[in-house]
């Protein structure tokens, strides 16, 4: 380990340590460990080069007394020998001084998702559970600049919007857990250098070389081809795009949240069976910039109990909200319908209502209310 060195600190090790310190300070405060009990953070570690390098860099803050550092090793049980890999990784982490180190075995269930997404959902549920049990202030993830570039390129191929093209955020709160990604400006080659300098032997996940998986295909075929045709620096440029658009997406979402609150009006739905209903002022929607209006309408669909709409369905809903097309209703994904209401004294241009489909429980309640004898 480089903490016992007598020579010059490896530059990649130094960069990784600075990246972790900067990200943790920004999220948890720069005075960690100064007169107060240091908070616990957990490193999500697969045993690969990226997460092992992250663990080694975070252990440096542990040795300085600025953090308590533990880890979560997730065994997806998708490959033969996965339990041995998880056990070996846990031993390596304990050797760095990390404590507690939790090995979580998960069952990856595909329910309408691909194998990568199914594994991701199971992994994040394990992170959430351990963070909740331990009271950890944050979970650190080892995504690198290469991962960020791949994410942006995936978004481009899918015709995604600003949020998707902004890639993975450095800091994110999801299901009550704060996730930090300190290595988004560190390359995969640098994490391998860190592991070599620290005397660590990373595990090489065979699925990372399986080009049947979309992300692996981008990593091993698409990005190398783009760099061979367009010159080096494509991956760096894609990651830079994420950094630029991340701030823009944050600002647009803040403005859209304020616009949503301004446009929201009390619901008029008289249907007691409705699962949920959202009402928006028609004049307010018409006056909004398109970038905000689409975000407001997408959120309204979700708040009414539906799904985030596709680009095409969102366009149809926007046209309907602006008064174009048929009288409605417009059906949205997740069993939500959009209705237009006429103008009145309070709303000169009427209102748009998004109404969720009645739930079975609500239908039973309504039936009981309408037929008192049925409850006997």
Mean pLDDT along residues 182-201 = 97
Q: Which domains does the chain have, with CATH numbers?
A: 2-246 (3.40.50.620), 266-362 (no CATH)
Instruction: Note the pLDDT of residue 34.
Output: 64
Pairwise CA distance, residues 83 & 121, whole Å: 19
Q: Which residues pair with 40 in a beta bridge?
A: 68
> Whole-prediction pTM value?
0.81
- Give pLDDT tens digits for 271-327: 555 558 899 999 999 999 999 999 999 999 999 999 999 999 999 999 999 988 777
pLDDT for residue 31: 64
Q: Within 10 Å of residue 5's Cβ, how many Cβ atoms?
A: 11
Q: Band of the pLDDT at 115, cuts 50, 70, 90?
A: confident
What is the rounded distance in angstroms from the CA atom of residue 298 to the CA atom of residue 90? 42
pLDDT given for residue 90 in this prediction = 97
pLDDT of 372 strictly over 50: no
**pLDDT over 50 at 366, yes or no:** no
DSSP string, 154-219: HHHHTT--HHHHT-S-SEEEETTEEEE-TTTTS-HHHHHHHHHHTT------GGGG-TTSHHHHII
């Amino acid at each position: 380990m480089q903490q016992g060195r007598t020579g010059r600190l490896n530059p990649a090790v130094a960069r990784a340590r600075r990246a972790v310190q900067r990200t943790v300070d920004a999220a948890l405060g720069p005075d960690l460990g100064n007169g107060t009990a240091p908070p616990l953070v957990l490193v999500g570690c697969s045993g690969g080069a990226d997460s092992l390098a992250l663990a080694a860099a975070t252990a440096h803050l542990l040795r300085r007394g600025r953090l308590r550092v533990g880890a979560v090793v997730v065994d997806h049980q998708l490959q033969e020998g996965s339990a041995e890999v998880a056990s070996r990784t846990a031993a390596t982490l304990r050797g760095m001084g990390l404590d507690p180190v939790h090995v979580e075995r998960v069952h990856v269930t595909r329910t309408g998702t691909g194998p990568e997404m199914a594994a991701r959902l199971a992994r994040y549920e394990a992170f959430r559970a351990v963070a909740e049990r331990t009271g950890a202030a944050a979970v650190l993830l080892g995504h690198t600049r290469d991962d960020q570039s791949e994410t942006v390129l995936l978004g481009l191929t899918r015709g995604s919007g600003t949020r998707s093209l902004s890639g993975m955020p450095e800091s994110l709160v999801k299901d009550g857990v704060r996730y930090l990604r300190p290595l988004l400006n560190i390359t995969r080659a640098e994490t391998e250098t860190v592991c070599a300098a620290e005397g660590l032997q990373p595990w090489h996940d065979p699925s990372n070389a399986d080009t049947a998986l979309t992300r692996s295909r981008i990593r091993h075929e698409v990005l190398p081809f783009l760099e061979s045709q367009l010159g080096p620096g494509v991956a760096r440029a894609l990651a830079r795009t994420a950094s630029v658009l991340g701030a823009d997406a944050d600002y647009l979402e803040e403005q859209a949240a304020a616009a949503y609150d301004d446009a929201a009006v009390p619901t008029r739905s008289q249907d007691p069976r409705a699962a949920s209903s959202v009402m928006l002022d028609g004049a307010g929607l018409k006056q909004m910039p398109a970038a905000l209006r689409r975000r407001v309408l997408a959120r309204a669909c979700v708040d009414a109990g539906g799904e985030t709409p596709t680009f095409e369905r969102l366009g149809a809903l926007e046209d309907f909200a602006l008064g174009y097309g048929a009288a409605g209703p417009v059906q949205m994904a997740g069993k939500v319908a959009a209705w237009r209401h006429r103008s009145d004294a309070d709303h000169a241009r009427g209102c748009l209502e998004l109404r969720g489909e009645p739930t079975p429980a609500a239908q039973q309640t309504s039936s009981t209310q309408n037929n008192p004898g049925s409850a006997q």
